[in-house]
Structure 1
Amino acid sequence: MNLSKFNKKPLEQRADIIVRHGVYLAVRYRSQFVIRLYCVGPYFAEVWYEPRRDRFVLVRILNEAVGLKPYLEMVDISEVLPAA
């Protein structure tokens, strides 16, 4: 995916691309928003949706690990940790 071309597309098209071609990973909730995390190629992307108004409000590519921080508490890696 060419990130420059992707970012120039309208919000609805970007959301559609992520939802259709991305691999869904997690969901979190913030205020009135449902925020879904996807993996698309080498990128992670968030799609912010407002159910009350039935509309997408934000689609963003997470370029830094800081953007993934809210999802880290959701991941259980206990099965892959070495036994103590």
Structure 2
Amino acid sequence: MTLSQFAIQTKDQQIETIKKHGCFLYVRNEAGVDIILYQLDGFYIEVFFEAEAKEKIAIRPFDDTASLDIYLQEINISALQELL
């Protein structure tokens, strides 16, 4: 599936596609909103949840790696550095 094909799906179809084919990568919280990152084929998807209500607020697909910077900053590689 391409980013364009995913983007034209309804929200319910997108959720099903993520459940069936998405690969969970990371979850972070920003201002009470859980943001869950998935990878699907050649692109990424952020699913935004209202943390307390566990209600989906938005789904944002993207394929630019610059949008991954916030996730990369949170990865601790100190254990790997000790091995080098």
Identity among equivalent pairs (%) = 28
Q: CA RMSD in A?
A: 2.2
Q: Does 1:54 align with 2:54?
A: yes
CA distance in 1, matches of 2:55, 2:2: 25
CA distance in 1, matches of 2:28, 2:67: 13
Mapping 1:61-80, distance limit 5 Å:
61-78=61-78, 79=80
Structure 2 length normalisation: TM-score?
0.77
CA distance in 2, matches of 1:19, 1:81: 37
Q: Does 1:36 align with 2:36?
A: yes
Contact 1:22 1:39 in 2 (8 A): yes
Letter in 1 for 2:25: L
Which structure 2 residue ranges, 5 or more long, are not aligned? none
Which structure 1 residue ranges, 5 or more long, are not aligned? none
**Where does residue 6 of structure 1 map in the other structure?**
6
CA distance in 2, matches of 1:25, 1:54: 19
- Worse-matched range after superposition: 22-31 or 4-13: 4-13
Contact 2:3 2:62 in 1 (8 A): no
Contact 2:2 2:41 in 1 (8 A): no
Structure 1 length normalisation: TM-score?
0.77
